[in-house]
C-alpha cells in the first residue's frame, strides 16, 4: 500500500524492491463494481506496489546487512527472550545467549517472543487466509488495481505482480468451512466469472499456503528492554490490506526514536508505544468496521452500492487503509511533508 511504498522511497529502496504499480482498490459484488482510487498527495498521483515477499524481504535483508555496524544472520531460530530482573536483556538464539540493550521482536503474528513474555491475548475470531500465485499467459494485460471479489463468507484479493504473475488470496471464516481449504479455494474462484476469465489459461506457480488464526493481540507493545513490531505487536486482519505498510511505518517510527542513539532509561518505550497506537488508530478502526461488514454481507453490499456513487468518499477510505489518510482529516499527521 502507498504508506509502505513511501517508507521504501525514504529508505532509497523502492526501486530495488520494484513491484507492479496499482492505483487503488476495486470492489466487485454481485454484478457491480466500486472503484476506490488512492487519494492524491500534494497534487501527485499515489500508487501501491504488488510484489512477492521473497523479493521485498531479500531487498530489506540485504540493505540491513550492508549497513555499517550491522551483522545480519539468516536462517537462525530464536528460542526465547533472555529476561533478568524483569527486563529483556537479549535473546537465546539456537541455545546461544545474545545480549542487547534493546530487543526488537518483529517475529510475526504468532510471535514466540510475545508469548514467552506473557503478552499474548488469545484471538477471538477464527478467520483464515490462503494464497497462491498464478503466471498469466504471455501478452495478457493486468489491470493496475487490487481487485476484491466480495462473496458471502469469503473475499478474494487479486494483486498484479511483476513478470505477468498475479497473487490470488482469499480470506474466510474458518469456522464456517465445511470442506478443505484446497477444495473451497478452487471452487470459489471458479464461481467468480470475472476472476475465472482473468485466470483462464493461467498456470499456478506456487502451492496453496494457508494461515489461521489471522488475528493476534498483545497486552502491550513494549516492555522493559523490548519492542514488539509489525504483526507481533498485534494484528486484526488482512481485510484492509495494510499489514506490510503498517509494519514499515511503525519500524520507521521506531528509528525516529533511536536516531540520536539508544537512551539509557526505558521511559521512551512508552512514548513510542503511544505514538505507534496513534499512528495505527484510524486504520484499526476502519478494519474493525470492515470486518463487521464482512459478517453482514447484505449491509456490506448496500454500503458498497452507496460508495459506488461517492467515489471521493471511497477514495478517502482507501487512503485510510493505505496509511496515507486520517479518518477525519487529510494526510496522516506523521507522514505530512514526507510523501
Ligand atoms: C492471506 C494473507 C494475505 C495478506 N495480504 C497482504 C497484502 O496484500 N498486503 C499487506 O500489506 N499485507 C498482507 N497480509 C498481512 C501481512 O502478511 C502481514 O501484516 C505482514 O507480513 C507483517 O509483517 P511482519 O514483518 O510483522 O511479520 P512476518 O511477515 O510474519 O515476518 C515475521 C518473520 O519472523 C520470522 N520468525 C518468526 N519466529 C521466528 C523465530 N522464532 N526465530 C527466527 N525467526 C522467526 C518469520 O520467519 C518471518 O520471517 C496478508 C496476510 C495474510 C495471512
Q: Which three cell numbers stand for residue 307?
A: 460508495
* Ligand 1 center from residue 57 Cα (angstroms): 10
Burial class, 308, CB count within 10 angstroms (exposed 0-12 / middle 13-18 / buried 19+): middle
CA of residue 307 to ligand 1 center, whole Å: 31
Cα angle: 233, vertex 242, 164; to 5 degrees: 130
Cα 244 to ligand 1 centroid, rounded to whole Å: 8
Rg (CA), the chain: 20
Nearest CA, atom 8, ligand 1: 241
Q: What is the pLDDT of residue 217?
A: 92
Q: What separation in angstroms does the CA of 280 have from each of 49, 120, 283, 339?
A: 20, 19, 5, 17
pLDDT, position 336: 46
DSSP-based three-state secondary structure for 305:
helix
Residues with CB under 6 A from ligand 1: 1, 77-78, 106-109, 112, 129, 131, 159, 169, 211, 214, 230-232, 235, 238, 241-245, 247
Q: How far is the CA of 316 from the centre of ligand 1 (A)?
A: 26
Nearest CA to ligand 1 atom 19: 243
For residue 167, the ligand 1 atom closest to its alpha carbon is 8
pLDDT given at position 339: 39
Of all protein residues, the one whose alpha carbon is nearest to atom 41 of ligand 1 is 78
- Local mean pLDDT, 10-residue blocks, the chain (339 residues): 96 97 94 93 91 97 95 94 97 96 96 97 86 95 95 94 97 87 92 93 96 92 97 95 95 92 88 95 95 90 92 94 87 52
Measure the CA angle with vertex 146, ends 335 and 187; round to 5°: 145
Residue found by looking up cell 506456487 in the block: 206
Ligand 1 atom closest to 229 (CA): 26
User: Taking the model in full, what pTM does it have?
Assistant: 0.94
Distance 43 CA to ligand 1 centre (A): 33
Task: Determine contact, residues 320/332, Cβ cutoff 8 Å.
Answer: no
> Residue 219's pLDDT is what?
95
Pocket test for ligand 1, best of 25, 171, 231 (most atoms within 8 A of CB): 231
Ligand 1 atom having least distance to the Cα of 209: 1
Amino acid at each position: 500500500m502507498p504508506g509502505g511504498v513511501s517508507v521504501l522511497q525514504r529508505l532509497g529502496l523502492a526501486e530495488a524492491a520494484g513491484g507492479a504499480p496499482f492505483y487503488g482498490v476495486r470492489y466487485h459484488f454481485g454484478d457491480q463494481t466500486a472503484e476506490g482510487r488512492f487519494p492524491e498527495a500534494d497534487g501527485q498521483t499515489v500508487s501501491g506496489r504488488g510484489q512477492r515477499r521473497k523479493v521485498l524481504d531479500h531487498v530489506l535483508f540485504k540493505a540491513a546487512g550492508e549497513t555499517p555496524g550491522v551483522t545480519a544472520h539468516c536462517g537462525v531460530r530464536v528460542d526465547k527472550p533472555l529476561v533478568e530482573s524483569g527486563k529483556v536483556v537479549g535473546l537465546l538464539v539456537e541455545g546461544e545467549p545474545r545480549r542487547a540493550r534493546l530487543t526488537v521482536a518483529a517475529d510475526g503474528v504468532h510471535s514466540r517472543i510475545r508469548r514467552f513474555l506473557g503478552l499474548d491475548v488469545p484471538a477471538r475470531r477464527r478467520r483464515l487466509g490462503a494464497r497462491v500465485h498464478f503466471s498469466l499467459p504471455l501478452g495478457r494485460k493486468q489491470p493496475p488495481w487490487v481487485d476484491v471479489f466480495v462473496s458471502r463468507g469469503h473475499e478474494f484479493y487479486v494483486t498484479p505482480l511483476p513478470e505477468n504473475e498475479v497473487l490470488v488470496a482469499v480470506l474466510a471464516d474458518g469456522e464456517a468451512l465445511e470442506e478443505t481449504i484446497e477444495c473451497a479455494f478452487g471452487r470459489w474462484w471458479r464461481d467468480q466469472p470475472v476472476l475465472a476469465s482473468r485466470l483462464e489459461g493461467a498456470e499456478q506457480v506456487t502451492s496453496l499456503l494457508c494461515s489461521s488464526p489471522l488475528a493476534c493481540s498483545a497486552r502491550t507493545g513494549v516492555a522493559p528492554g523490548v519492542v514488539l513490531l509489525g504483526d507481533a505487536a498485534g494484528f486484526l486482519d488482512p481485510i484492509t490490506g495494510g499489514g506490510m505498510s503498517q509494519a514499515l511505518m511503525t519500524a520507521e517510527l521506531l528509528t525516529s526514536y533511536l536516531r540520536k542513539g539508544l537512551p539509557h532509561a526505558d521511559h521512551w518505550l512508552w512514548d513510542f508505544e503511544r505514538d505507534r497506537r496513534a499512528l495505527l488508530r484510524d486504520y484499526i478502526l476502519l478494519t474493525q468496521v470492515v470486518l463487521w461488514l464482512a459478517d453482514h454481507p447484505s449491509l456490506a453490499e448496500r454500503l458498497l452500492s452507496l460508495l459506488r456513487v461517492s467515489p471521493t468518499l471511497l477514495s478517502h477510505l482507501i487512503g485510510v487503509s493505505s496509511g496515507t489518510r486520517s479518518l477525519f482529516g487529510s494526510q496522516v499527521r506523521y507522514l505530512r511533508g514526507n510523501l
